[in-house]
Amino acid sequence: MSPSILIIEDEASIADNLVYALGTEGFDVTWKNLGSEGVREVLTQTIDLVILDIGLPDISGFEVCKQIRQFSEVPIIFLTARSEEIDRVVGLEIGGDDYVAKPFSPRELVARVKAILKRLSWKQDVLVELKQGQFAVDEVKAQVRYYGKDLDLTRYEFHILKILLAQPARVFSRTQIMDKAWEMPASRLERSVDTHIKSLRTKLRGVRAGENPIKTHRGFGYSIHIDEN
């Protein structure tokens, strides 16, 4: 499967060039011109790398990056137009992986994209799973194994499970789970946490029918319990 690249850029001429340059290299390219649309795309689609402009019509690229980093480690390349933007990007805490200063050649950007994806695939090969009792979490592949079996999880389910597993036996409220899983404008109902938990339980039961490691704490939230041995 070809890697999917998301371009978040409001200047059509730049975006068109990038869509073309990346498309001819065999990448699967999506283009959004609003920051909020870009965040939603990362949340709902499988995106391997994001090319992110800083000056966007709705929210800044910095804010887009911050929101994406709440739920995804997808590599981000910033497109910067001004030197003070470069200073902020280089100043680390933003969470970007690389930057390209405008004006740039599409060929240069394609080379950066390839370099980052190559680095990532190497990282995937050597990454060790985080074992937590009967669970094993592969952060890079966004996969969880349960009693040695891969669970087929949605993005939300993966994040919810990861949050619970980070601190076994700790009770998380629905709001805490929501805040950690997607730091998005408060447009999501708490009930959706319940829906994801329900679906997660069904998938866990599919592996071990008699076990229910996720406990409900009535009127509050959930906790997960692991086998210590």
> Which residues contact Ca ion (rule: CB under 5 A)?
10, 53, 55
The CA distance from 17 to 36, in Å, is 22
- Cα–Cα nearest to 4, from 44, 49, 52: 49
The nearest distance, CB 60 to Ca ion, in angstroms, is: 10
The nearest distance, CB 56 to Ca ion, in angstroms, is: 6
Is the CB of residue 38 less than 8 Å from the CB of residue 61? no
Nearer to Ca ion, 15 or 49 (CB): 15
Nearer to Ca ion, 8 or 160 (CB): 8
Nearer to Ca ion, 35 or 213 (CB): 35
CA distance to 5, 62, 224, per residue, from 161 (Å)? 26, 28, 8
The nearest distance, CB 147 to Ca ion, in angstroms, is: 49
Residue 79 phi, psi (nearest 5) = -105, 120
Nearer to Ca ion, 55 or 133 (CB): 55
The nearest distance, CB 53 to Ca ion, in angstroms, is: 4
The nearest distance, CB 55 to Ca ion, in angstroms, is: 4
Nearer to Ca ion, 3 or 35 (CB): 35
The nearest distance, CB 228 to Ca ion, in angstroms, is: 52
The CA distance from 192 to 133, in Å, is 27
The nearest distance, CB 102 to Ca ion, in angstroms, is: 9
Six token digits for residue 31: 């283009």
Q: Which residues pair with 222 in a beta bridge?
A: 172, 216
Which amino acid belongs to residue 22? L
Nearer to Ca ion, 85 or 157 (CB): 85
Residue nearest Ca ion by beta-carbon distance: 55
Q: Work out whether strand 149-150 and strand 214-217 pair parallel, antiparallel, or are unpaired.
A: unpaired
- 221, burial (CB in 10 Å: exposed 0-12, middle 13-18, buried 19+): buried
Nearer to Ca ion, 58 or 108 (CB): 58
Is the CB of residue 6 less than 8 Å from the CB of residue 75? no
- Cα–Cα nearest to 208, from 131, 158, 151, 147: 147
